[in-house]
Structure 1
Amino acid sequence: MAKPIAGPEIERLIQLLAKLPGLGPRSARRATLHLVKRKEQLLGPLSEAMGRARDSVLVCSNCGNIDTRDPCTICADAARDQSTVVVVEDVSDLWALERAKALNAAYHVLGGVLSPLEGVGPEDLTIRRLVERVAEGGITEIIIAVNATVEGQTTAHYVIDQLAGFDIKVTRLAHGVPVGGELDYLDEGTLSAAMRARTAF
């Protein structure tokens, strides 16, 4: 076991930062060093912002988004098309779609995907809440926007089965050649999906 290189407070900060996605021990040490060198400009404000976030962040009881209000800003936005609901795996997917400004719709965050190997079943996701939202009325289209993984597609099929009794349109994101993509660099699955989802020119 490596000996600590700094006091327990700094070591604790390194350990916590190393748990963040994309940060390993080395990156966490560099980030910690950067923060402590700039205590007044970064560490203090960051600590205050994290404390405020801890005390004020909520999970929207309607869609599962993360916000400081419940219902969240998106669910409470009267200018949004609440009749169209985009179903995503995680909040990060919701944020990505929002950054793209792809659609002025509502969302539903599943909280993951079905994965029997990892012990994730339907009861661990918010599929029941999605069915309840549809049953409440007012929703005319569900857009399944999950990742094109085996687990994602399994989850999509399960969600579609749960919505089978409702008079709504269920669509999914197109899969295929990305904008700016070159055919020679794409995998066979992507090319096959693109060919099946071809559209009129």
Structure 2
Amino acid sequence: MNQGLIPTAEAVYKLIQELNKLPGIGPKSAQRLAYHLLRAPEEQAKLLADAILSVKQKTKLCSVCFNVADSDPCPLCRNDQRDRSKICVVEQPQDIVALEHTRIYNGLYHVLHGAISPTEGVGADDIKIKELMERLQGGSVSEVILATNPNLEGEQTAMYLNKLISPWAS
């Protein structure tokens, strides 16, 4: 509740508060976005609201690779032209988008949906490691590429996965 903390309408205050919860959006950016939406035509605001609802209602996680998709399995997992002997392990679905833009990699993916982070209370059981190991048990994968982020959590996750995968690779 605003309670006069910010001299604006309650609806604008609530919008600023919600926008501020988004990653990478601080208080000033949230305020800028809120006032932009306030000035924008109602149709533009409606299109944004519809797009937000649509992404929540119409997308799902692929049951194979855990990428965000409209269908299950996702188009990447269904594509017979992809090299099924390779799996590239990434932290988030947007990492797949970045790799696909390079047009270099033609294997499959596995999205962990996070990284091991003891400081954040995220352990190996909180991300899709068990599912990765289940995929590897099939025996058709000959190469696993660990493409975690180049930060402490990403490195910890890659080291943990390397230890898990090493006996399988021998």
TM-score normalised by length of structure 2:
0.88
Matched, 1:72 2:74: yes
User: In 2 relative to 1, CA 150–6 (structure 1 residues): closer, same or farther, beyond 3 Å?
Assistant: closer
State the number of aligned residues. Answer: 168
User: In 2 relative to 1, CA 30–157 (structure 1 residues): closer, same or farther, beyond 3 Å?
Assistant: same
Aligned identity (percent) is 38
Whose relative contact order is higher, 1 or 2, with alpha carbons under 8 Å and at least 6 apart? 2
Matched, 1:140 2:142: yes
Unaligned runs of 5+ in 2: none
The residue type paired with residue 28 of structure 1 is A
Task: Find the counterpart in structure 1 of residue 127 from structure 2.
Answer: 125
From 98, 101, 105, give the equivalent of 1:99: 101
Matches within 5 A, 1:7-156: 7-156=9-158
The residue type paired with residue 63 of structure 2 is S
The residue type paired with residue 22 of structure 2 is L
Q: For residue 55 of structure 1, report the CA deviation from its aligned partner.
A: 0.9
What per-residue deviation string (whole Å, max 9, x for no partner) do you get for residues 44-96 of structure 1? 11111111112112122211211222222211222222221101112222221
Unaligned runs of 5+ in 1: 169-201
Q: For residue 41 of structure 1, report the CA deviation from its aligned partner.
A: 4.2
What per-residue deviation string (whole Å, max 9, x for no partner) do you get for residues 147-187 of structure 1? 2223322211211221223247xxxxxxxxxxxxxxxxxxx
- Aligned-residue CA RMSD (Å): 1.9
The structure where helix makes up a greater share of residues is: 2
What per-residue deviation string (whole Å, max 9, x for no partner) do you get for residues 85-109 of structure 1? 1011122222211222231221111
